Amino acid sequence: MRIENIELRRVSMPLVRPFRTSFGTITERQISLVHVSTAHAEGWAECAAEVWPLYSSEFIDASDLVIRDHLIPRLQALGDALTAERVGNALAPVKGHQMSKAVLETAILDAQLRENGQSFGGYLGAVHDSVPAGVSVGIMDSVDELLEAVAGYLEQGYLRIKLKIEPGWDLEPVRAVRERFGPDLLLQVDANTAYSLADARHLARLDPFDLLLIEQPLGERDLLGHAALARLISTPVCLDESIESAKDAAAAISLGACSIINVKPSRVGGYLEARRIHDVAAAHGVPVWCGGMLETGIGRAANVALAGLPNFVLPGDTSASDRYYARDLTAPFVLEDGHLRVPTGPGTGVAVLPEVLAEVTRSRSDIRF
Ligand code: NPQ
Ligand code: MG
């Protein structure tokens, strides 16, 4: 496949409400979009890196730079031999920078699939037409405010609630949500690395609330700590930040560091590595679910396709567009009976809306091939 141009575009997307996690609060998402043009098609993808290196070491300005100066030259060197399947190996000599690698591979895959008339879901091996939707609920100023927010999401049809937690906002909100909404609510928590192994006895106090899982309680490099914690609490441990590759997944499973994995294509370098994690986990009987990084419709479309694979057995953070954005960059994803439909058109199956794109664009630049 022959790329003619790659456009990098910075957009700014206001959130419908502030989103607070253990690592900070955001009110607006700054996103780098990658737009690939070939003679026959175009492809879009979005980079998950944020302004600050707080979720992981990656951040948006560094991402733009590594894409321009270190990753794209390696793709240009492939010439006409470039395919989406060759991107991973071509970029492998560059250490780290999974989100930057992921956005390039994904935009190229989108263009390639559009050229071939194949959908993301079809290419990846999705077996479902629609996927159950969960929602990630930020840390709030009061339990009353949280209960109101959860009630609103349940009214909209969300099938699973994930509460963001941190020391000082854990037992009380979990107890309140469990008591108010009852034992049948699918409920889980995400600490984004906010605890240490010394908190094991405290975290064991979540055991009675019958949570589906606790996500990334300890530091991202601390597989042994998670393995030790998993033996001290009955809530299943799920890893997010710790898993940056299929090899990481295999190691974490073998060590007993997790019994469930949150798969985020952006965190692991793209959809091909995400599918490998799905496969490794399936081979070990470990369920996975699809995480989210506050994607616009561009990234959401591909995530929903991935979530259609057979071992995505838990509802993901694949929420409707209006969970985050009043106006999305694509036609909005909407809940239908608590589910999102897997797009069936070529590539991601969604079209970027030119007027919205123009309105949210802050800068753009072209790299000619
Ligand atoms: C998680 N996502 O599972 C992440 C954390 C997260 C939906 O909970 C900007 C960019 C803001 C990435 C906020 C959800 C973010 C972000 C939260 C990722 O851990
Ligand atoms: Mg997480």
Angle of helix 98-116 versus helix 297-306 axis, rounded to 10: 80
Q: Do residues 324 and 180 share a domain? A: yes
For residues 216 and 235, membership in a common domain is answered with yes
Average pLDDT estimate for 139-160: 98
Considering the domain architecture, whether residues 112 and 127 belong to the same structural domain is answered as: no
Nearest to 134 by CA among 339, 323, 316, 335: 316
**Tell me, what's the pLDDT at 13?**
98
Whether residue 233 is contained in a domain is answered as: yes
Q: What is the mean pLDDT of residues 311-321?
A: 98
Mark whether 173 and 267 lie in a shared domain. Answer: yes
Ligand 1 is surrounded, with C-beta below 6 A, by 19, 21, 26, 29, 48, 50, 55, 136, 190, 192, 240, 291-294, 317
Q: Active-site residues: which are they?
A: 164, 264
- The per-residue pLDDT for range 54-107, each reduced to its tens digit, is 999 999 999 999 999 999 999 999 999 999 999 999 999 999 999 999 999 999
3-state secondary structure of 160: strand
Residue 279 lies in a domain: yes
SS (H, E, C) 35-96: EEEECCCEEEEECCCCCCCCCCCCCHHHHHHHHHHHHHHHHHCCHHHCCHHHHHHHHCCCCC
Amino acid 57: pLDDT: 98
Residue numbers of the domain that contains 252: 122-341
**Locate tokens 């100023």: which residue?**
141
Band of pLDDT at residue 290, cut at 50, 70 and 90: very high
Q: pLDDT tens digits for 212-259? A: 999 999 999 999 999 999 999 999 999 999 999 999 999 999 999 999
Is residue 281 domain-resident? yes
Domain count, the chain: 2
Q: Are 279 and 130 contained in the same domain?
A: yes
Predicted pLDDT of residue 185:
98
Q: What is the DSSP string of 184-246?
A: TS-EEEE-TT---GGGHHHHGGGGGG--S-EE--S-TT-HHHHHHHHHH-SSPEEESTT--SH
Same domain, 161 and 218: yes
Nearest ligand to the C-alpha atom of residue 243: 2
Atom 7 of ligand 1: nearest residue by CA position: 292
Look at residue 346 and tell me if it is in a domain.
Answer: no
What's the CATH code of the domain at 54? Answer: 3.30.390.10
Segment 50-60, tens digit of pLDDT = 999 999 999 99
Q: What integer best gives the mean pLDDT of the chain?
A: 98
Selection from 62, 60, 61, 82 nearest residue 73 by Cα: 82
**What pLDDT band is residue 12 in, cutting at 50, 70 and 90?**
very high
Residue with tokens 């609490």: 233
Give a yes or no: residue 23 inside a domain: yes
The alpha carbon of 262 and the centre of ligand 1 are apart by a number of angstroms equal to 12
Q: Which among 21, 350, 317, 280 has a CA at the least distance from the CA of 153?
A: 317
**Domain co-membership, 41 together with 155:** no
**Which CATH number fits the domain that encloses residue 188?**
3.20.20.120
Q: Does residue 234 share a domain with residue 173?
A: yes
Region 24-51 average pLDDT: 97
Residue 249 neighbours by CB under 8 Å, 6+ apart: 243, 261, 277, 280, 281
Specify whether 135 is located in the same domain as 88: no
The rounded distance, in Å, linking the Cα atoms of 179 and 186 is: 13
Which ligand number lies closest to the CA of residue 292? 1
In a domain, 264, yes or no: yes
Which two tokens mark 175? 């107890």
Same domain for 84 and 205? no
Same domain, 247 and 154: yes
> Which residue owns the Cα nearest ligand 1 atom 9?
50
> Do 176 and 317 share a domain, yes or no?
yes
pLDDT tens digits, one per residue of 330-349: 999 999 999 999 999 999 99
| pLDDT for 43 | 98
354 alpha carbon – ligand 2 mean position (Å):
32
Among protein residues, the one whose CA lies closest to atom 18 of ligand 1:
293
- Ligand located closest to 293 CA: 1
Nearest CA to ligand 1 atom 12: 293
